[in-house]
Chains A and B, each alone.
Chain A
Amino acid sequence: MSKKITIEPVTRVEGHGKVTIHMDAQGNIQQSRLHIVEFRGFERFVQGRPYWEAPVLVQRLCGICPVSHHLAAAKALDVIVGAGTGDGLTPTGEKMRRLMHYGQFFQSHALHFFHLSAPDFLFGVDGDPATRNIIGIALTNPELAVQGVMMRKFGQEIIRATAGKKIHGTGAIPGGINKNLSIEERDEFLKGADPLNADKMVSWAEEALDFFKKYYFANKDFVDNFSYFPSNHLSLVRKDGALDIYHGVLRAVDADGKKILHDVDYQDYDKYIEEEVRSWSYMKFPYLKEFGKEKGWYRVGPLARLNTADFIPTPLAQKEFEAYKALTNGKPNNHCLHMHYARLIETLHAAEMIRELLNDPDLLGDDLVIKGEKQKEGVGLIEAPRGTLFHHYRINDNDQIEMANLIVSTTNNNEPMNKAVNHVAKSVMTGKEVITEGMMNAVEVAIRAYDPCLSCATHALGKMPLELTLVGPDDQILDRKRTH
């Protein structure tokens, strides 16, 4: 006799996901699957549209990470307008885009930490769900909650200043950018009243990191062993091996740190990466062709980026990076919950980069756009907060998009999220007849570590409870739990 447990949807994860856990008669976990209803219609939707519309159109994918899609599309179209593959823009064009991207990174990582993951650290994975959220933090640790809110706001204001507006920003255009930063905007971000200035953001990013480290060293066994499994890791890196979330070459390392994708040009990504379709999920499973479906899957995101990069090019984050790398003796870090540690190091790096860029006079320049010989095809790659994001377009003689292929970060993490769910299910559910809320949340903690954004999959926001169904061997429902 076997049983099937279904958790639907996954709370504190954007969009609609469902977890199914199969148990045998002895209560052993046989198989776990994360089903995601991914919406793939967008690639067809852009076909026939003028190519220059793409950076604005792609923001319609969702309202959660519009900047990442905006910049990835713009980078692909840089190639099409003959402006090169990301490092051929004018200094003002490239640095304004970078400022926009670091602003997005900063606010997205801050949201994840303060709103989605810190409640688990403060109140415990099996803590009272009524208070295990940012409202609970506001009541018990208001200073921390205010920091989270104001860090989000600072990042959003950077985006507004660089993209032009909150909805459907138009800052990045093929071949460059359509506005520079005014002196007033720059001075406001650099010298604005506390807390909304770059120095304060760097300081608060350090405090958030200290908060996590304090938790980590007090709960080292739990953090280290929660959903640990080896994997490959993939990301952009700068040509000299530095962490770079805007532009670089594509690198992958295996679980021991051996390079298995050697700093290749991402214009050729389809030579190295393939996507597998599985009957039980709408979301594809990417893998490195050379190593096949079984061994070629990889992780993307903060953990992967700090595993592929050789160093971080800002001093405070580099110091933290060195301490972080020492935990695994310089080898890749395969601990699922260290994703939060890596995310906070990146948050600090983003704050430092924002400050560094704001002090760069190139942001005030007037040379915004560059164009060259038009091409028919281009690939834009960017490290979105959740991981590597691919945009690939081909145009026809009428300047219309005739082919689009997008591989979003959450798709890149599909296999590792499934592995993570299986690992946690085995750990907390084996032999259990009753599924507690704490067990359900443990599964979600593993998924949330990847900060998946599934809103490309659905626009039916809210109104859906958390549901867990236990199904017997003959598909009869043995038990069902629902939370609201």
Chain B
Amino acid sequence: MNQKPSILIFGYGNPGRQDDGLGAAFIERMEQWVENNAFQNITLDTNYQLNIEDAEQIAAFDHVCFVDASIEPIEQFSFTKVEPSDAKVEFTMHAVSPAFVLDLCQKLFSKTPETWLLHLKGYHWEFEEKLSEEAKTNLEAALEFFQQHLIKKMNN
């Protein structure tokens, strides 16, 4: 029997800033699903933002999926593969991008987990710990897609 690949699903953002909490809300919803399905190979984690130490964490997994809110003009959500990149670091240097984390992981720990970014469209960003109705709809759509995706991936 083949050993199942280890998977890290990492949501980030500030739940105190309305839809910026989509990443953390996604992980919260995934917790029950992972438990119900007894997926021992899936690890869930959250934080306010990504940072350099996450390069060490992702090095321990075969697959990684970062989950974040997005202000970009996407539909309900987007799911894209992350390639390592040492391109110009973002100006908010107390936080880093998924591509940067992956690149640092490759250079420091010689590991390159297959990495994806699930972006969930958000709309409101003020001080309130509550997702907007539109964001909640997007969260449901993304959960349905992602759970199906994971099941297919683990059955292959």
Task: Find out whether the CB atom of A135 lies under 8 angstroms from the CB atom of B104.
Answer: yes
* B94 contacts A142, C-beta separation under 8 Å: no
Instruction: Establish whether residues B108 and A133, one from each chain, have CB atoms under 8 Å apart when the complex forms.
Output: no
In angstroms, how far is the closest chain A Cβ from the Cβ of B19?
10
Partner of A484, one of B17, B88, B93, B94: B88
Contact assessment for A461 and B90 in the assembled complex, using a CB-CB cutoff below 8 Å: yes
**Bound complex: CA of A148 vs CA of B55, how far in Å?**
11
* Closest CB in chain A relative to B47 CB, distance in Å: 5
Bound CA–CA A48/B47 (angstroms): 28
- Pairwise interchain contact A15-B92, C-beta atoms closer than 8 A: yes
> What's the least CB distance linking B54 to chain A, in Å?
9
Contact A12 B48 (CB under 8 A): no
Inter-chain CA distance A129–B55, complex, in Å, is 22
Within 8 A of B (CB), among A179-199: none
- Residue A289 at the chain B interface, CB threshold 8 Å: no
A63 to B24, CA, bound (A): 13
- A13 interface hit (Cβ, 8 Å): yes
A152 with B51: CB separation less than 8 A: yes
Least distance between A160 CB and chain B CB atoms (Å): 10
By the criterion of a CB under 8 Å from any partner CB, how many residues of chain A are at the interface?
A: 52
Q: Is the CB of A455 within 8 A of B92?
A: yes
* Interface residue count on the B side (C-beta < 8 Å): 37
Known: A66-B48, A152-B52. A462 touches B94 (CB 8 A): no
Residues of B within 8 A of A9 (CB): 91
On whether A459 and B104 interact (CB within 8 A), knowing A149-B53, A153-B56, the answer reads: no
Interface residues of A in 107-144 (CB under 8 A from B): 111, 114-116, 129-130, 133-135, 138-139, 142
The answer, yes or no, to whether B107 is at the interface (CB within 8 Å) is: yes
Assembled-state Cα–Cα distance A411/B17 (Å): 22
> Within the complex, what minimum Cβ distance (angstroms) separates B64 from chain A?
16
- Given A60-B129, A149-B56, decide whether A142 and B107 contact each other with a Cβ distance below 8 A: yes
Do A12 and B93 form a contact, CB below 8 Å, given A63-B49, A130-B88, A149-B55?
Answer: yes
Q: In the complex, what residues of A have CB within 8 A of residue B103's CB?
A: 135
Chain A residue numbers with a CB within 8 Å of B57 are 153
- A42 interface residue, CB < 8 Å from B? yes
A235: Cβ under 8 A from any B Cβ: no
Most buried by A among B92, B93, B103: B92
Inter-chain contacts of A134 with B (CB < 8 A): 52, 104
Is B89 on the interface with A (CB-CB < 8 A)? yes
Listed residue (B17, B51, B103) with the most chain A CB atoms within 10 angstroms of its CB: B51
Interface assignment of B76: CB less than 8 Å from any CB of chain A: no
Q: Are B17 and A459 in contact (CB under 8 A)?
A: yes
Contact with A along B81-95 (1 / 0, CB 8 A): 000001011111111
Is A25 part of the binding interface, using a Cβ–Cβ cutoff of 8 Å? no
Residue of B nearest to A157 (CB): B53
A167: which of B46, B91, B92, B127 is its contact (CB, 8 Å)?
B46
Min distance, Cβ A24 to any Cβ of chain B, angstroms: 30
Given A14-B92, A111-B51, A115-B93; A459-B14 close (CB under 8 Å): yes
Chain A nearest Cβ from B61, distance in angstroms = 15
B107 to chain A: closest residue by CB: A138
Q: What 0/1 pattern do residues 149 to 167 of A give for CB contact below 8 A with B?
A: 1101100100000000011
Chain B minimum-CB-distance residue to A465: B91
Given the interface pairs A42-B127, A153-B53, the reply to whether A146 lies near B108 with Cβ below 8 Å is yes
- Which residues from 325 to 371 on chain A have a C-beta closer than 8 Å to any C-beta of chain B? none
Known: A146-B108, A167-B15. A462 touches B93 (CB 8 A): no
In the bound complex, CA of A166 to CA of B94 (Å): 16
Q: How many angstroms between the C-alpha atoms of A460 and B94 in the bound complex? A: 13
- Give Cα distance in the complex from A450 to B35, angstroms: 45
Q: What is the distance, in angstroms, from B145's C-beta to the closest C-beta of chain A? A: 24
A-B contact pairs, 24 of them (CB 8 A): A13-B93, A14-B93, A14-B94, A60-B127, A62-B14, A63-B49, A63-B95, A114-B52, A115-B52, A129-B88, A133-B89, A135-B103, A135-B104, A138-B108, A142-B107, A149-B53, A152-B51, A153-B53, A153-B56, A166-B45, A453-B94, A461-B92, A483-B88, A484-B88
Add 4 more A-B contacts to A15-B92, A115-B93, A166-B45 (CB < 8 A).
A60-B14, A63-B95, A462-B97, A484-B88
